[in-house]
Amino acid sequence: MSKEDWTTTIPTQELIDMSLTSSENLQSLKDVFDFDKTDMLDVPEHIFYLICELTWLESSMLLILRRDFTEPEFHDSDQKEVVISDTTLKSLMTLTVAKFHAIKDLNSYGYSLSLN
């Protein structure tokens, strides 16, 4: 990443949390695609479409995190903040907002990604 593309920093822990959350959510979503379990869950069509959307969103977020932060450039020697490009920041923000609304829609139909 060139210095001209730097815009801001993001806490390292925030990136770790985003990655862990997306991984956990993706695993929950993948469980629905297990056809043996799908028959037992009896997932309505509109819920299945939301699950597909969330799977794509979580996968996209993980792809960006893995692609752009395999060798992070830290802002400080304590490695508490990572330099993030404008493009990556906008992409992550867009995916986060889309995930929020898709999860909200899923919750409104009585479904959850929580592993209770």
Task: Please give the pLDDT value at position 35.
Answer: 57
b/e for 40-78, b at 16 or more Cβ within 10 A? eeebeeebeebbebbbebbebbbebbeebbeebeebeee
Report the range of poorest mean pLDDT among 39-43, 66-70, 85-89, 110-114.
Answer: 39-43
pLDDT (tens digit per residue) in 47-70: 889 999 999 999 999 999 999 888
